Chain A
């Protein structure tokens, strides 16, 4: 993986993700052994869209590997506010840093950055499309918490059309052998055709359903994302469906003992606080795994 851009989860093969996960295991087992791994390396973080978890977990990962980082900072205080374009900003960061982590509202921005920069570029989210490192940590969370990724029944719930975390997670699963994926969303927010095409081409068994209730009893993993009000042209439509996509401890009454609930966070109201104390709630553990997974990725991209 040395020198590779990380733009879409589909740029990776299963074998490469397994290598990433094995290194993540190793880092979690003996973090001190890696504390000087990237000494002398500099990572640039350029977030043209707000982020808390992704930015901080990348920065923490770099610091834990003994490297350092520079950050583009608030856009209002950077040259972007003076009207500097994206290409020039990336060129500048490329001359300062060994790896560039970028998030942008426009789709394809990370791929474009990868063409401009000699340093590897890691996509930390572009528009509605890709969030490959979130998908990596989500898969790793399943692998860690369920003992494996293959053969499980998945439910992916919420905004599957515009949500990049959900779309990336679904695409990531297509690299493995899930027993079945239920895509649970209002009809308006179904997964995009190109995502479904990938599932079909790879022979993944999936089904689109409107409601969690009917399928919750079958699930081993429930991946929750938010159905956003602003996606609905008619607010009344939203009011009608919103209850079906809020997950609480009562929603999970029929759930299997071993069901784990994941969420890319931040949550608003789609995950009830009453869920936090149940055995199913694994989203905070999932978020914590973001640091070691990104440590492993930075190590592989910078040193192989």
Chain B
């Protein structure tokens, strides 16, 4: 476990195989679980640590999932609500891969435009909503069609809501 505090290790034991999502902005751990579709009924061993001290973020959340690995799409989605997150792949108790999530420059299909008068919300048009990245901090996207902004809050509401 790179960069873990001693008190966390006391709270949560190491996992043998699976994924540790670290540096989640404080309070977003449950949203991350929602994005991954984890309700607890799937049988995975899941540890959630919330509001622990973090050098970088002040406070952060951590999610550990035993036996579950993430697809690139899931990594992208996590980036949208937890842009600071790092993904650690654990095999045999050791972190074999550590990487930051990356907010995509363009999101297609995943999110709806918050503007009810946007053509992308017209149910009879065969088009996928598309957004272009405006800024990473705070996270802001712009609808490629109507130009309205998609804020961090809109994104969290849609992905985790």
A108 at the interface (CB under 8 A from B): yes
A96 at the interface (CB under 8 A from B): no
Give A111's nearest chain B residue, CB to CB.
Answer: B145
Chain B 115-149 near chain A by CB (<8 Å), digits 1 or 0: 10111101011110000000000000001111111
* B143 and A108 contacting across the interface, CB-CB below 8 Å: yes
**Contact A107 to B125, CB < 8 A, known contacts A112-B145, A127-B146, A194-B149:** no
Q: Of B119, B144, B147, which is within 8 A of A104 by CB?
A: B119
Known: A85-B125, A112-B125, A112-B127. A107 touches B119 (CB 8 A): yes
B117 surroundings in chain A (CB, below 8 A): 105-107, 127-128
State which residues 106-128 of A face B: CB under 8 Å: 106-109, 111-112, 115, 126-128
Cross-chain contact B122 with A107 (CB below 8 angstroms): no
Interface assignment of A87: CB less than 8 Å from any CB of chain B? yes
A12 within 8 A of B: no
Give the residue of B120, B124, B149 whose beta carbon is less than 8 angstroms from that of A108: B120
Pairwise interchain contact B127-A85, C-beta atoms closer than 8 A: no
A111 B144 Cβ-Cβ under 8 A: yes
B149 & A85 in contact (Cβ 8 Å cutoff): no
Shortest CB-to-CB span from B28 to chain A, Å, is: 26
The minimal Cβ–Cβ distance linking A160 to chain B, given in whole angstroms, is: 16
B125 proximity list for chain A (CB < 8 A):
85-87, 112
Shortest CB distance A190–B (Å): 16
Say whether A106 contacts B124, CB under 8 Å. Answer: no
Smallest beta-carbon distance A2→chain B, Å: 24
Say whether A131 faces chain B, with CB atoms less than 8 Å apart.
no
For residue A280, CB closer than 8 A to chain B, the reply is no
- Interface size grouping (class) on chain B: 10 to 19
Q: Report whether A107 and B124 are in contact in the complex, using a CB–CB cutoff of 8 Å.
A: no
Give the CA-CA distance A115 to B141 in the complex, in Å: 20
Q: Is A299 an interface residue (CB 8 A)?
A: no
Q: How far is the CA of A127 from the CA of B117 in the complex (A)?
A: 7
The contact of A112 among B115, B119, B149, by CB within 8 Å, is B119
B126 touches A107 (CB 8 A): no
In the bound complex, what is the Cα–Cα distance between A85 and B118 (angstroms)? Answer: 15
Contact B119 A109, beta carbon cutoff 8 Å: yes
Verify A86–B147 contact, CB threshold 8 A.
no
A87 closest partner in B (C-beta): B125
Contacts of B126 in A (CB 8 A): 85, 87
A106 near B118 (CB under 8 angstroms)? yes
A129 proximal to B (CB < 8 A): yes
Chain B residues near A112 (CB-CB < 8 A): 119, 125, 127, 145
Using known A-B contacts A105-B117, A106-B117, A128-B117, determine if residue A86 contacts B122 with beta carbons closer than 8 Å: yes
Residue in A closest to B113 when the chains form the complex, CB atoms: A108
A274 to B146, CA, bound (A): 39
- Shortest CB-to-CB span from A246 to chain B, Å, is 28
Chain A residues, CB < 8 A from B147 = 8, 107-108, 129, 194
Q: A87-B125, A112-B125, A112-B127 are in contact. Are A129 and B146 (CB under 8 A)?
A: yes
Interface string of A2-19 (1 = CB under 8 A from B): 000000100000000000
* A172 → chain B closest CB, angstroms: 15
Chain B nearest CB, measured from A223 CB (Å):
21
Contact flags A185-204 to B (C-beta < 8 A → 1, else 0): 00000000010000000000
8 A-B residue pairs with Cβ-Cβ distance under 8 Å, sorted by A, are A86-B122, A106-B117, A107-B147, A108-B118, A108-B147, A111-B119, A112-B119, A194-B147
- Interface residues of chain B, those whose CB is within 8 Å of chain A, are 113, 115, 117-120, 122, 124-127, 143-149
Extra contacts besides A86-B125, A111-B145, A112-B119 (14): CB < 8 Å: A85-B126, A87-B125, A106-B117, A106-B118, A106-B119, A106-B146, A107-B146, A107-B147, A108-B118, A108-B145, A109-B119, A127-B146, A129-B146, A129-B147
